[in-house]
Amino acid sequence: MTTNINFSDLVNFTEKQDEANEALKQFKFILYGGAMGGGKSYWLRWELVKLLLYYFHKYKIRNVAVGLFCEDYPALKDRHLNKIKFEFPSWLGDYYAQDHNFVLKEDYGGGMICFRNLDDVSKYQSAEFAAEAVDELTKNTKDVFDFLRTRLRWPGIEDTKFIAGTNPGGIGHAWVKDMFINNIFDPNEQEKDKFYFIQARATDNPHLPKSYYTTLESLPEQSRKAFLEGDWDLFKGQYFSEWRKDLHVVEPFKIPYEWKKIVCIDYGYSSPSAVYWCAISPEGYFYLYRELYEIQLTYSSLADRIISMTTDSENIRYWVADPSIWSRKGDSGLSGAETMKNTYRDKKRMALDLVQGNNDRVNGWSIIREYLKPFMVGDKKMAKLQVFSTCYEFIRTFPTLIYDAIKVEDCDSDGEDHAADSVRYGIMSNPTPAIVDPMVLKQKLFNQRHKKYLASMKPQKRGLYRMTGY
Ligand SMILES: Nc1ncnc2c1ncn2[C@@H]1O[C@H](COP(=O)(O)OP(=O)(O)O)[C@@H](O)[C@H]1O
Ligand SMILES: [Mg+2]
């Protein structure tokens, strides 16, 4: 006996969910965004089921894959995996826990929803999806969206779709709001008219118990507005929204020795010390080429580590550090700066040029912002700040900084800002590119090595110095 099932009866979409579903016929990128509890996550997973059925019906293509993404695995589990066990009927398909895939029965085309996390999107480099859904889109930077767009393709399917649900706020708030709500795009955006936004409110969802609204009503004013009414004007989101991996991250290369180089330091003990080796190219590009990011280093052990990670041939001009280490005293009664200088002198037998960093945060950030701005060099997009792909902690933490809720022109210093602080001291020290004659540098290098060599010779107790090797 066959039982006829109407998809609409099965999912029983709310009015707003229906509106989102309808919009998908006309638009490619849909954001259902705003309040908590509006039914966003529910809509995303069921809309993917619907898209799989639709692709099979329309194109007769079997085993199509679509992806449902959350920022990390626990979120994926809480928002979806725990729910589909009860929500997706067993006659519809099977969930394969090891692969995190829900596969529709062959009768429905054998399509597959791949549940995936977004902690490192580059692992999906060779994957393709006919449709993608991102739950809590504002928890991601624009890089993630740009990358996922490149994975949105399936042979034979013209109308691929990107759907997302989200609350306001978070590191992605600004770019999501720009693109989906205000329709402000990058100049080269080719699909401007394919974006659609649906405002979610908690009251959209009749399936929620009344007590839940009472809970949202009781939140402090700002959270109440954001989570009950879905107000998008309360947050600014990512502080450096100009950051793009494809523009600012480069593969390591050998830095020419005539480039000017400095070391910048943000000191921490229970939080990490962040150290960057920076090189300024003759054209004025500012490269971060090495990183040290470690907790529980004393001032002297930090200086030791920096010395051991640096070779003489790098010809570092100066170290620039967090100004607070001039006032903070270590166990010895000396300031952090003095301790570092002493360690350097003992080890290297010369004085360290340790420069006090400028701590005008807002000004510093706006200079970094200038360094992030793209400009054209021929037909290539470039930016003044270039980060070696080996500076993992900078690349991880820099895009997660958000605006401060009170001092709105500053970034929130509760975020992981050590790497950004360190580079700010570096850039604020105004390291202009050095125009150096390579011959002069070579000579300097030779002198340095020679001095070291002489120092390493043990004086003979008596008699002449015996010469060999000539
Ligand atoms: N159309 C629907 N039919 C039945 N339950 C729904 C429907 N839409 C949402 N729900 C349920 O309402 C609750 C909140 O929905 P959810 O999608 O998690 O909201 P949001 O992601 O917007 O916070 C969940 O328990 C969800 O299963
Ligand atoms: Mg949700």
- DSSP-assigned states of every residue in 80-125: IIHHHHHHS-TTTEEEETTTTEEEE-GGGT--EEEEEE-S-GGGGT
pLDDT for residue 135 = 98
pLDDT for residue 437 = 59
Counting ligands in written order, which one lies closest to the CA of residue 200?
1
Weakest-pLDDT range from 314-323, 359-368, 399-408 = 399-408
pLDDT for residue 460 = 53
CA distances from 77 to 67, 68, 70, 249 (A): 14, 12, 9, 32
Q: Is 33 in the pocket of ligand 1 (CB under 6 A)?
A: no
pLDDT for residue 284 = 92
CB atoms within 10 A of CB 452: 12
Which uninterrupted H or E stretch holds 70?
Answer: strand 65-70
Weakest-pLDDT range from 196-200, 204-208, 305-309, 336-340 = 204-208
Of 13, 167, 205, the one to substitute when testing ligand 1's pocket (max ligand atoms within 8 A of C-beta) is 205
Q: What is the distance between the alpha carbons of residues 230 and 149, in angstroms, rounded to a whole number?
A: 26
pLDDT averaged over every residue in the chain:
91
Angle (CA) 196 244 71, round 5° = 60
Q: Where in the chain is the domain with CATH 3.40.50.300?
A: 10-227
CB atoms within 10 A of CB 236: 16
Residues 140-163: tens digit of each pLDDT: 999 999 999 999 999 999 999 999
The CATH classification number of 10-227 equals: 3.40.50.300
pLDDT for residue 434 = 64
Q: What is the distance between the alpha carbons of residues 454 and 466, in angstroms, rounded to a whole number?
A: 14
Q: Where in the chain is the domain with CATH 3.30.420.280?
A: 245-428
pLDDT for residue 92 = 96
Residue type, position 352, single letter: L
- 355 CA to middle of ligand 2, Å? 49
pLDDT for residue 171 = 87
Residues 29-41: tens digit of each pLDDT: 999 998 899 999 9
Q: Whose CA is nearest to atom 2 of ligand 1?
A: 13
Q: Is 386 in the pocket of ligand 1 (CB under 6 A)?
A: no
CATH architecture, domain defined by 245-428: 2-Layer Sandwich (3.30)
pLDDT for residue 420 = 98
If you average pLDDT over residues 181-190, what whole number do you get?
92
Q: Is 273 in the pocket of ligand 1 (CB under 6 A)?
A: no
- 204 CA to middle of ligand 1, Å? 10
What confidence tier does 465 reach under pLDDT thresholds 50, 70, 90?
A: low
Q: Is 208 in the pocket of ligand 1 (CB under 6 A)?
A: yes
Q: What is the distance between the alpha carbons of residues 268 and 322, in angstroms, rounded to a whole number?
A: 10
Closest ligand 1 atom to 35 CA: 22
- 82 CA to middle of ligand 2, Å? 13
Question: Which one has a higher pLDDT value, 413 or 24?
Answer: 24
pLDDT for residue 461 = 52
Of 162, 141, 142, 143, the closest CA to residue 152 belongs to 162
- 33 CA to middle of ligand 2, Å? 10
pLDDT of 165 above 60: yes
Q: What is the distance between the alpha carbons of residues 114 and 70, in angstroms, rounded to a whole number?
A: 11
Residues 407-435: tens digit of each pLDDT: 878 998 888 999 999 999 999 998 877 65
Contact yes or no for 293/393 (Cβ under 8 A):
yes
- 80 CA to middle of ligand 1, Å? 11
Q: Is 123 in the pocket of ligand 1 (CB under 6 A)?
A: no
Residues 221-235: tens digit of each pLDDT: 877 888 888 888 877
Q: What three-state secondary structure class fits 373?
A: coil
Q: Is 93 in the pocket of ligand 1 (CB under 6 A)?
A: no
Residues 287-300: tens digit of each pLDDT: 999 999 999 999 99
Q: Whose CA is nearest to atom 8 of ligand 1?
A: 39
- 165 CA to middle of ligand 1, Å? 12
Q: What three-state secondary structure class fits 265?
A: strand
Residues 73-126: tens digit of each pLDDT: 999 999 999 999 999 999 999 999 999 999 999 999 999 999 999 988 989 999
pLDDT for residue 83 = 97
What confidence tier does 262 reach under pLDDT thresholds 50, 70, 90?
A: very high
pLDDT for residue 276 = 98
Of 207, 211, 212, the one to substitute when testing ligand 1's pocket (max ligand atoms within 8 A of C-beta) is 207
Q: What three-state secondary structure class fits 199?
A: strand
Q: What is the distance between the alpha carbons of residues 231 and 220, in angstroms, rounded to a whole number?
A: 14
pLDDT of 462 above 70: no
Residues 358-375: tens digit of each pLDDT: 999 999 999 999 999 999
pLDDT of 436 above 70: no
